[in-house]
A and B are shown apart, each in its own frame.
Chain A
């Protein structure tokens, strides 16, 4: 549509953009409806629990269905503990979901090197497994000085993690104990 100079000034001096555009004879109802639908139409709501302290506040994530990315996070109003409120950390988890400094690649630092190298998962897991076996087998203790059966791998230690889910914690400790590791610790100790 053609905009005369007169119309342009009418637009720019109008109190609100909406007012101005309707003043020009535009039918905005489809524009408004499109803008409103865009926000909620293509997102999926997923409830989760905050990753920071141990209050356990509910957070709702809004994931854009097209891109599959979280585009917004907010307090879960239905959660009895926080009722939709969040502290500064919980309120900012969107910036954990979308963060260009996230570690996204497997890295390896070779002995005496001053830099990281990018590697593949299969390589890394296979190499770690080799080292676990080598270190464990080299110094595995079947019996202690008193002749008691101890079946210990004392040369490998693990710390972590209170950031793991219950199911992850459980299989992690099962793996560590199956390997005979006794130095098993995490945040609860410090």
Chain B
């Protein structure tokens, strides 16, 4: 999240789209209702009418996979009705940039598309630069090739009629939403978006979110209290695990994984360290070399030296452009290319799209290690339905792990708060905390490599710093301190000397010469010389807007709302003094700020003075608002993505639509797809005439491994169900409560029919289109009559930028059992 949970309560208009917070992040609704109690408007846009909808002032139905059409219409509305916050757009976004002449968009494709490679060459999306290498601008926003005008032209096709026809949302509802939300485009109103997997799990997932980011930037809602773009993440520590780089493409702290062509650290730094030609841009990622070297020092300790590039060559390198993400991993496993597998605190047999492909691929492994609190469909895959154990050679090691209250450590919530938690009881039976298991396993592995002098490339294994035990037991405090960072030698900075081994105060102090070690630069300050800041429980809130700056610790540097430089005008005064987030305070003389000024409020996005003096004159030492962008501006036009610089509506890969409303390109031309016999896609196929979607219920969580075994929860939600409209039930002769079969081109499962008024058929391009939805919390292992995983239905196709599967929109059939 750019903001945080409590901040939702500061909003004047809460849009909940691609999400169902009342049911899936229930306690967040405490803050949604606070916004409503304070006079704010709640909007819920969703294919189903849910508990979130019951509290919304405006509910608008939407066909799964048409969010860009819906929001594109909102962009058109905002531009035509001049609802954008003009000063914010010209000062803080790239709306004024001039786009190069090579850029074009025609018939659903952007310029630079290579059909053979199924990829775009993004060089035609480049800006027109001035002689200094800074993009040319038209601050009047009139130039036909400025971003603002290009956007206006692009979304001119998203008129109410067309949008309504493709989304299934009645025109009145569209207008209601557009009017209510765009009213936040004024300095004293804040609008926020709460989204979740309803946006991510699509072949246009990133562009879904981009469309909303454009709207937020146009309305001046980024960086302010009650605004922002708020991703509601799904697991207690998925934020932390992402921050730690447990993904193929990033190292801890979001440094990109080095690729094969980058032979040395210098090559890596050259490729991945952005430079900024505009002196007003803070371009914070210019500090990347410091974070990389500090991380390498944390990995390899004294073995990381300037002479050996700090151990850079010990990091494994993917080939340029070759992905190793989830869908690729299981595709490789299906093709017998993977021999050993760790499913650590995960249940891929039920959680990954196209579960039949996943389950079969597990039987291709030589060995698998499964670490979990309960038995699950992945650990026991070999005795699952349709499996013949006598033919499956996969060895499986099941390691019982402790649950969360049986160990000590920190987790990071969606609002970037890293909260320390404590041990309330010893792990039961022979369970061990995951940290102990990782620690001890690596000791075993390393011992084998120590003994085998002829082993292959043992250096990174033998040199990995691994002294994270106290009294021979894994000690999370030692790791937390490493993640924060420490001085590797006595160092004098200014008039202060830091001793070797002392914790580093904050990431501004990290160095690229090996004198600092830091496991994850964004967590630098979390556990520093002041102590374990993540364990703080001070409830004071001097801000009055719910920042709680001394409750736990938020990254980066305890900044609670990021991009807060955009919450003030260029002279550093809040756009909305009644809900001030930060404010620049300095002595003023002759209309100019004097030296010695400071920022009050939240931790500012950098200590530099604002862009202008009170008299409006420009300051050379000011910095632009969006400090992590190399140019310093929020991107309305975004040339860095794989599928285009502007979001465009494309149909889900498996869809009920034959003809795209705008042009020839029906689906995302660069979406991720696979070609095995298990990867079948059937669009507009009469055998699978209904849209299928998946979602969650309050009482269960993810694949249900941690909820199906909890009697109180299972009693409330005992089995998988399929929700359908009364109209569809009548069409298929299905009664509420009867067992039906739901099938897709990839798999099928039995479910209890839940016939409801809360789902209604959509009218799409004049045709009636039905939808059904299922929760995906169940699996064959337990309980006996609980039902199977809805992921047996979903397709392994994905977004081209994130490669997240399209689990929210595919095609199915529903029929009475026995029919």
Contact = CB atoms under 8 A, between A and B. Distances in A.
B410 A167 contact: yes
A157 B464 contact: no
A157 B341 contact: yes
Interface string A55-92: 11111010100001110010000111111011111101
Contacts of A92: 710, 712-713
B344 A159 contact: yes
Contacts of B598: none
A134 to B, nearest CB: 9
Contacts of B251: 177
B659 interface: no
A15 B400 CA distance: 51
Contact of B460 (A59, A127, A178): A178
B237 interface: yes
Interface in A131-180: 131-133, 135-140, 142, 144, 146, 148-175, 177-180
A180 B316 contact: yes
A179 B709 CA distance: 35
A188 B428 contact: no
A128 interface: yes
A56 B414 contact: yes
B76 to A, nearest CB: 33
Contacts of A129: 441, 444-445, 447-448
A80 B539 contact: yes
Interface in A100-126: 101-114, 116, 121, 124-126
A54 B425 contact: no
B238 to A, nearest CB: 4
Given A78-B537, A161-B346, A189 B804 contact: yes
B426 A68 contact: yes
B424 A55 contact: no
Nearest to A102: B428
A161 B519 CA distance: 18
Contacts of B437: 125
Contact of A190 (B353, B432, B482): B353
Given A52-B706, A124-B399, A159 B483 contact: no
B352 A167 contact: no
Contacts of B236: 49-54, 56, 162-163
A56 B339 CA distance: 37
B241 interface: yes
B165 interface: no
A110 B519 CA distance: 38
B371 A160 contact: yes
Contacts of A111: 392-395
Interface residues of B, number: 164
Given A136-B456, A165-B237, A103 B375 contact: yes
Interface string B156-186: 0000000000000000000000000000000
Contact of A103 (B237, B431, B807): B431
Nearest to B328: A183
Contacts of B716: 88
Contacts of A102: 373-374, 400, 403, 428-429, 431, 709
Nearest to A95: B710
Interface stretch (B54-62, B382-390, B680-688, B718-726): B382-390
B315 A96 contact: no
B272 interface: no
Given A56-B417, A140-B456, A133 B449 contact: yes
A181 B461 CA distance: 12
A113 B352 CA distance: 26
A48 interface: yes
Contact of B438 (A85, A108, A159, A172): A172
Given A127-B397, A166-B240, A188 B442 contact: no
Scoring A126, A149, A163 by chain B CB atoms within 10 A of each residue's CB, the highest score goes to A163
A54 B699 contact: no
Given A54-B238, A102-B374, A128-B369, A133 B339 contact: no
A186 interface: yes
B26 interface: yes
Nearest to B440: A125
Contact of B701 (A89, A104, A108): A89
Contacts of B346: 159-161, 186-187
A169 B236 CA distance: 13
Interface in B407-455: 407, 409-415, 417-419, 421-426, 428-435, 437-442, 444-445, 447-449, 452, 455
B319 interface: yes
A152 B341 CA distance: 15
A150 B342 contact: no
A186 B218 CA distance: 34
Interface in B337-356: 337-346, 348, 351-353
A88 B233 CA distance: 18
A114 B431 CA distance: 24
A166 B390 contact: no
A190 B804 contact: yes
Contacts of B238: 54, 162, 186-188
A128 B351 contact: no
B234 A53 contact: yes
B318 interface: yes
B575 interface: no
A101 B374 contact: yes
A130 B317 CA distance: 24
Nearest to A48: B421
20 contacts: A44-B424, A49-B411, A51-B706, A53-B701, A55-B414, A103-B372, A108-B398, A109-B394, A112-B392, A129-B447, A148-B260, A150-B260, A151-B460, A154-B338, A160-B342, A168-B438, A170-B483, A178-B442, A183-B332, A189-B804
Given A54-B234, A177-B251, 13 more contacts: A53-B234, A80-B551, A88-B698, A102-B709, A105-B430, A109-B398, A152-B318, A157-B332, A163-B345, A164-B237, A165-B237, A167-B476, A179-B460
Counting from the closest, the 4 A-B pairs by CB-CB distance are A104-B429, A56-B413, A161-B345, A165-B409
